[in-house]
Structure 1
Amino acid sequence: MMALIVRRYFWLVNGTFILLVALLLARTANLFVEDAIAPPLPGTSASLAPVRVATEAARTPLDGARLGKLTGLTYGKKEPDVVEPASPEVATGPIRSSLRVKLLGTLVANDAQWSFASIQDLETQRARSLMVGDDLMGTRILTIERERIIVAANGREEFIDGEASAPAITAPTLTRPMPAASSGPESGIRAVSEHAYEIPETELQQALARLDVLSTQARVVPAIEDGKPAGFKLAAIKQGSLYTKIGLQNGDVLKRINGLSLDSPERMLEAFTKLREAKHIELDIGRSGGSVRKTYDVR
């Protein structure tokens, strides 16, 4: 009876075995597929290789020269600093005046109000003397310096010096050019007596035309007596200067020239102007509490 049952259902046992074998094979194949396509687990040697390769690739330096050739851009080079163009300097001082005048010379005193300048009009060839505050062809004198004067013109400052601002119109002359005044022992000034002198006209004219040089040979300051202007006092006279040649000394007070009192800057200017035509000069001097008169014949 048992053998009959086994024989009848043997195919079922055989089919079950075959089914189990097929399931086992399918499971094994599934494990191989999963192992092939699944990402590697952390900590395994297989997982370290891609990471190492990626790290090394990231550390590989970029070939800047090659990149520049391909793109036309500069790479890895420091760009030159951009330098802003310097703005042009703007002149802030006085500019040269366009007036047709030229500075002949100046006499600069410690007190600016006593300084004066000699100016030549290039149109008329006439000379005139000016002081601070005077008008000159529509301008006003602001400052008198040794080698130039500053004027106010059109709301700005301009300067006038010994150079002409435009070609001068030279007036015809029949006289010979004056030789330069000599400052050495060979000077033509001669003492006739203690207080009388002879002066060559050329030397006198040369001195009056170069008041800027004359002003450097001594210091001239206003002299006050009894609270009133009494003339001009000389100090720091240089040896060999015109002052020493005509007998003047430190501390002398120039009071009168040819009877004209030097008690104001205007009188001083007037006296200097008249000296250009003078043939005889009388100079009254205050010296050591007394008075001295010196005379000069211009020849």
Structure 2
Amino acid sequence: MLCTLVLTALFLAQGTTGLLAATFLSLDSGSSAAPARRAGAGRNAGPEQKDPEAILTRNIFDSETGDLWNVAEEEVEYVEDDGPPPEPGDGPLPRCEGAVRLVGSLVNTQSHEWSFAAITGAAGKAMLYREGMSVDDKQVVSIDSSAVVLLPASGSHCQIMMFDPGAPVAATAPARPATMAARAERPARPTREGAIPTADMESGITRNSDTSFTVARSLVDQLLSNQAELMRTARVIPHEENGRTVGVKLYGIRRNSVLGRLGLQNGDMLRTINGYDMSSPDSALEAYSRLRGASNLSINVVRRGNPMALEYNIQ
């Protein structure tokens, strides 16, 4: 299923071995990105290191920004040398002024060019940034899993945080007693399982058998637009055998979550999606870029040592 591919592509592109909760990646020129939290170590060690240039040059998640490999880092004149730039958590940095807001981040401690932050600026649209780029005349200095340090063109370092307690909150009018009719007209509250209402999941997913499912295209679109919450529904951990990554294991799946309703279970090891190998970042990213509009998906998993295939028809 595409939501599984979202998780796999993002986590493998990062190269981590644990959960990144909340990534916000821009998929189309009009879409927004989503949050991720890091809970794992760096990239898998291997005889050959992957060169991220091809992935960053294509930047399939953010067509508006385009090539991220050849972006020249903008020069910022420092008034005085106070040593290395501060990192998030290095002490109390003031909150950045203006409309900039951190939506999510993707952090690689081994290679900074693999670290990204999804930030909304004055235009209100989430875009992907890496260190050295600028948003609203503020240079991105360092990226952490829950905070980003910025340097305004004129001023000192400041930071934006994922969950900013200092963000302004609009005053609300005194609550009025709600009538039964008004309550009935309220839309269904989203569940905590991916921010998709239970009614939408029930109507959008038809279980034909234990391994065959029909999924409404409208639900797929809804999932892709709610990747922030989707990233909280499971953990994706690369699985190694004899020192080689052979797939990714899925953990934290609840039975009533989107992934659970799509037939996936805790401990399933994902091997391929429509023939694309899920053991490498390049393959996962290519699969995601090619299969977003697919009408049929076949996922090969290993469950408790037994290989099996899950089939999805998207209508």
TM category, shorter: 0.3 to 0.5
Would you tell me which structure has more helix in proportion to its own residues?
1
* Structure 2 length-normalised TM: 0.45
* Structure 1 length-normalised TM: 0.47
Between the two structures, name the one with larger relative contact order (CA 8 Å, sep ≥ 6): 2
